[in-house]
Amino acid sequence: MAESWVGASAMEIARAVRRGDVSATQVVADHLDHIRGRNDRLHAFRIVRESEAPAEAEQVDQQDDLSGASLAGVPIAIKENTPVTGVHTWRGSEAARGPVAEADHEVVRRLRGAGAVVVGTSRMPELGIWGTTDEPGAVTRNPWNTDRTAGGSSGGASAAVGAGLVPIAHANDGFGSIRIPAACCGLVGLRPGHGAVPAPAGADSWLGMSEHGLLTTTVADAATGFAVLAGQRPARLTEPARLRVAVSLRSPVVGVRPDAANRAAVTSAGRLLAAAGHDTVRAEHPYPTWLGIRGLATWFGAAHLAAEEAGLDPAQLQRRTRGHLTAGRLAWQRGLVRDSDRQRWREQCVARFDSYDLLLTPVLAAAPPPAIEWSRRSWQANLVANARFAPYAPPWNLAGLPALVVPVGVRPDGLPVGVQLVGPPASERLLLAVAGQIEQAVPWQRHAPGWV
């Protein structure tokens, strides 16, 4: 192992700490030093726990038995909308900031219980609404190309992992907020299905659409992290049996088509799965017209509900956020936000899995947008930009189904490209196992060039 533990996977770090090859204190010190030299350029972290994280690492080192600590000594970032004891619970801006948390959120408690060390909180857009992460004076940048966004809403998390500031990062996904940044930064991102991680993710978990997960550089890290969050015992992934995988390029947004790089990524992933022994078939997944209307209304309405429950004053929020909350209030008033619509869509999707085992789609339709202050632009400009570059994630939040992003290469412009795998309820480990087959066949570059 090199002198620094920066760049090691979470599993490599945990194994070494459990064996006594390195202390958690040293691992955390290495990563804090790495963060100091790079965070000002990326704006990945809101808060870095410079003094608290080393003390937390010492507590890990003082434990007599680390044999059950699957994340022993692993530095981790927590998304800033999730309470961490002693830290303000930010929601993407000063105006949306919450009070200092008096206790850890359940997912933070589980991660710490597995031996992980919280080194800081990662940035997100205001209220976690957008697929880009920025606010006036702080634009979170993609380590693969700092002129591009790291995605959103877990953009700070993806930038941190992509640049090796931490080996894994907590995230949550209410409308694509794990999978979009995973695709932007070349990472593995699992959005668990509804209820797989028994802990709320925001106000009413964004009407049941939001789930907690992690961003990682390897499938093994993702599998272990998911087990910790779900309260399961980590176990080795098993080789999946022969599967029938449907391949669909159809966009959920009318008039938006995937660009050549994203089409090629799906073709490449399909070939890899066929080479692994699976049957791939073209089966365009239907997205009914009513889904687009109800889906947008639910997105607007979920944000409106979250802002109301937090007692936020819309007048203090960004212009794009005010527009979104206004649309959400109108959607509620007009009865456009309905549990029955989401249940109907879920039932339709689950029925499709009678014909195939998994669905393979693009994640993005275009390259990540420029890293600019989208927060100063209008609601309409943000809405159009998000729809054009990231239309493929939201339908599965509405259905409450598990979905995973896995890298498959690099675009002609040098940015990473990934694909999305969607499965029926409780298929998280199957999705991970299939992603592992892709990783084994064509290992990807785990970090952006020049950062580790």
- Total domains in the chain come to 1
Q: Does the residue 273 lie in any domain?
A: yes
Pick left, alpha or beta for residue 207 (phi over 0 → left; psi -120 to 50 → alpha; otherwise beta).
left
Q: Over 70: is that where the pLDDT of 401 sits?
A: yes
Q: Can you list the positions of beta strands (E) in 200-288? A: 211-216, 244-247, 279-282
pLDDT of residue 212: 97
Which among 77, 70, 65 is positioned nearest to 114, based on CA atoms?
A: 70
Q: Over 60: is that where the pLDDT of 443 sits?
A: yes
Q: Over 50: is that where the pLDDT of 200 sits?
A: yes
Which among 69, 43, 19 is positioned nearest to 160, based on CA atoms?
A: 43
- Which of the four pLDDT bands, split at 50, 70 and 90, describes residue 1? very low
Q: Is 355 a catalytic residue?
A: no
pLDDT of residue 204: 72
Q: How many residues does the chain have?
A: 452
Q: Does the residue 446 lie in any domain?
A: no
Which among 43, 16, 65 is positioned nearest to 372, based on CA atoms?
A: 43
| pLDDT tens profile 341-397 | 999 999 999 999 999 999 999 999 999 999 999 999 999 999 999 999 999 999 999
Residue that is written with structure tokens 């990473």 in the block: 416
Q: Is 153 a catalytic residue?
A: yes
pTM of the model: 0.98
Tokens for 95, please give them: 């105006």
Tokens for 346, please give them: 């879920």
pLDDT of residue 329: 97
Which among 47, 17, 11 is positioned nearest to 32, based on CA atoms?
A: 47
| pLDDT tens profile 242-296 | 999 999 999 999 999 999 999 999 999 999 999 999 999 999 889 999 999 999 9
Q: Over 60: is that where the pLDDT of 73 sits?
A: yes
Active-site residue (options: 9, 70, 79, 427): 79
pLDDT of residue 202: 67
Q: Does the residue 294 lie in any domain?
A: no
Average pLDDT, the chain: 97
Q: Does the residue 323 lie in any domain?
A: no
Rounded CA-CA distance 374/352 in Å is: 37
Asked if residues 82 and 56 have their Cβ atoms less than 8 Å apart, the reply is no
Active-site residue (options: 177, 205, 251, 427): 177
pLDDT of residue 328: 98
Average pLDDT over residues 84-95: 96
Q: Which of 168-182, 201-215, 329-343 has the lowest mean pLDDT?
A: 201-215
Question: Percent of the chain scored above 70 by pLDDT?
Answer: 99
Boundaries of domain holding 156: 10-289+336-441
Strand-pair partners of 419: 362, 406
Q: Is 122 a catalytic residue?
A: no
Active-site residue (options: 9, 70, 153, 251): 153
Q: Does the residue 296 lie in any domain?
A: no
Q: What is the CATH number of the domain that holds 24?
A: 3.90.1300.10
Q: CB-hemisphere CA count at 13 Å for 112?
A: 18
Helix ranges (H only) for 254-399 are: 260-275, 289-309, 319-333, 339-352, 379-389, 394-399
pLDDT of residue 203: 62
Q: Does the residue 429 lie in any domain?
A: yes
Average pLDDT over residues 134-148: 97
pLDDT of residue 201: 75
Q: Over 50: is that where the pLDDT of 223 sits?
A: yes
Q: What is the largest CA-CA distance in the chain?
A: 61
Q: Over 90: is that where the pLDDT of 442 sits?
A: yes
Q: Does the residue 85 lie in any domain?
A: yes
pLDDT of residue 368: 98
Q: Does the residue 74 lie in any domain?
A: yes
pLDDT of residue 21: 97
Asked if residues 376 and 132 have their Cβ atoms less than 8 Å apart, the reply is no
pLDDT of residue 2: 53
